[in-house]
Amino acid sequence: MKIEKTELSQGKLKNLFIILIISYFIIQTVSCSKSTIKHFNQSIEYNNQATRIMNMGGSGELINPEDMDKIIKFTKKALAEAKLVDIRKLNHRYLDFGNHFRDEFIKGLELYIEGIEKNDNLKMLLGQSLQGNWGDWYDQNIEGIRRSKR
């Protein structure tokens, strides 16, 4: 499957990538179980790997099938790890942290994968949009998450 990159998705993905890298390091300080931290960090890292591949080409370029397979593989791994995160523990750490992770990051991954697999550009873009919402929320709440001592 060939997918054309758009400036909107390229820009959103770059911003999300930056936020996800920051979140990888911030979650290290979250007083959650080691398992939750491990799965959260791994989901972010897999998603970052998919984003790096997506960002290799320029806007308007087609993604070659080999790279698209890698993107799908890393996105599915990110989703599998994200589903192992204890949402309640994230919520306990900071109000609605887990809810946003579940409803935006995880749901965004699900829709993105479904959109690619079913050749449904609307679902793919909706998934990217949800991930962008997650990144925006996280960026706005990062200081509170850092300060939270729950």
- The per-residue pLDDT for 57 is 73
> How confident is the model at residue 106, as a pLDDT?
98
Residues whose CB is less than 8 angstroms from the CB of residue 89 and which lie 6 or more positions away in sequence, other chains included: 32, 33, 36, 98
Buried/exposed code over 54-71 (b: 16+ C-beta within 10 A; e: otherwise): beeeeeeeebeeebbebb
- Give the residue extent of every domain in the chain: 3-147
Here the tokens at position 105 are 């990051």
Question: What ranges in 55-93 are assigned the alpha helix state H?
Answer: 65-82, 87-93
131 Cβ neighbours under 8 A, 6+ residues apart: 12, 16, 47, 104, 105, 108, 109, 112
Place of tokens 């679902």: 123
* pLDDT value, residue 83: 98
Q: Provide the pLDDT for residue 48.
A: 92
- pLDDT of res. 30: 46
Q: Where does residue 31 rank: exposed (0-12), middle (13-18), buried (19+ CB within 10 A)? A: exposed
Q: Which residues of the chain have a pLDDT value below 50?
A: 6-8, 28-30
Are 82 and 101 in contact by the 8 Å Cβ rule? The answer is: yes
Q: Which two tokens stand for residue 141?
A: 């709440």
